[in-house]
Chain A
């Protein structure tokens, strides 16, 4: 596990020369899929990419960041004064 003393092993700077193209490729793969089919596709994608990275510390760091993100989203999206 990464500690507070070590930088995260996860690269979060832009890595794609054309980020729009990468994002587009991912969303286009989901077009026309039901929710279940998309979930299955994304699960296969996660597993393939995780194995390609092949580094458990990177995977843990990515999981941690991915877990934190939706909480931030809901903060921004919640109407003022309403319980989250």
Chain B
């Protein structure tokens, strides 16, 4: 039951590498052309790093799968020139409602403040995200995307890897300095290396269905505990483009997945929820969730990103979002390493920073899943007590957990950050992701700071002397940018003469009162993994 109208078929094409005696050599091979692999390929290509991207399939679009793309992810896609199309096609939302039985428990607003270019979230089927990425990849001469190329062997070497790739015309070999495995939660690369993917599996099963219907529900995330239409369980309703609605129904731990997937079983369940039968089924799947991660994301020159490195339950939209954020963290570091400009701390910092993010995502997703499906009778009593109190008390509303939605991780212990040497009143601390702000005449900070290189955000019109040439300058002094008194100034606590050094992935590397060339040079060196 695929969404046939949105299925994109690509052709296998023979590569000259398949006829090369002794095998070809490439600086980077990415395994897996999903949202993570495609985004990383684009990022590297924009940094003039040629990429071979292989995928075992020859099509995308089977099921909408990931649908919620978060603000930070959209900022990353915006740097790659894709966010406008995604936001235009997607369903923008930031509000949600949580029900208990048929009564409203509370409402939330994820982005109540203005002054951000991107919305808190859009809902967009993963196949559209992949389609836009594939089209952008097709315009990059530096990316060699090979469909129906399946990795069947990998030999890890201290300085790279030897890959054996199966195609419809037989296998071939190639060597690479770096391999990035973006091949999903069942990562064949991970299996071939024999790596342990440890964590927790949850007992409860969930039915995930996309239905097509005309409906006038608002574009909000609606979540029910113990809904009247689905006895003793939980339910989620969320809108996607093309009149598609995502429905999650908790089935409990003893459900028979094969039985539950049958249309004659699914349709009555959804009829009961919607109160009518004016819909068609687009996609159905039954899942049991897991939260797991690799202990190490880097194995010599083989690096794991996205679901191959860490897996979470879907409540909180932390899967695809964290995967795209992995690529944002890795791209500039890998490019510097390939160009021979990386210090010894740089590549290892990917594992430190994104390992921290994975732990944060797993913690949040585990808490949500345990709240939705309490694993013991005693936990259910406590969970139901929270729900009972939430109707009357503010504190219990805050404990109700129907998914804590994806936020970017602040890398507070990053070896790439220069600790504050001065006093700051709030602002964005080193390691944290940049906060967007309007820059006048329709400009946005996230957009103007997205040069792909480090950026010095300076409150002043005259840069101090002796700034290194490797940093891009963004002068936002009062004379040219009156908004320094608005969102921008407030969010960064920048007085005249102060500056904030942004990494190529938009995280803050350092900030300075009365900046000068020497401190910037030192901070840049640390950011590049020296020091």
Q: Report which A residues bind B (CB closer than 8 A).
A: 36, 39-40, 43-44, 46-48, 51
Contact = CB atoms under 8 A, between A and B. Distances in A.
Interface stretch (B24-32, B209-217, B305-313, B379-387): B379-387
B273 interface: no
Contact of A40 (B388, B396, B399): B388
A51 B382 CA distance: 14
Contacts of A40: 381, 384-385, 388
Given A43-B382, A46-B382, A47-B386, 8 more contacts: A40-B381, A43-B384, A43-B385, A44-B385, A47-B382, A48-B389, A48-B393, A51-B393
Nearest to B378: A39
14 contacts: A39-B378, A40-B388, A43-B382, A44-B385, A44-B388, A44-B389, A46-B385, A47-B382, A47-B385, A47-B386, A47-B395, A47-B396, A51-B395, A51-B396
B interface majority secondary structure? helix
A43 B396 contact: no
Contacts of B399: 47
A interface majority secondary structure? helix
Contacts of B395: 47, 51
B377 to A, nearest CB: 9
Interface string B386-429: 10110001011001000000000000000000000000000000
Contacts of B386: 47
B70 to A, nearest CB: 28
Contacts of B388: 40, 44
A43 B377 CA distance: 12
User: 5 closest A-B pairs (Cβ-Cβ)?
Assistant: A43-B385, A51-B395, A44-B385, A43-B382, A39-B381
Contacts of A44: 385, 388-389
A39 to B, nearest CB: 5
Nearest to A50: B395
Nearest to A48: B389
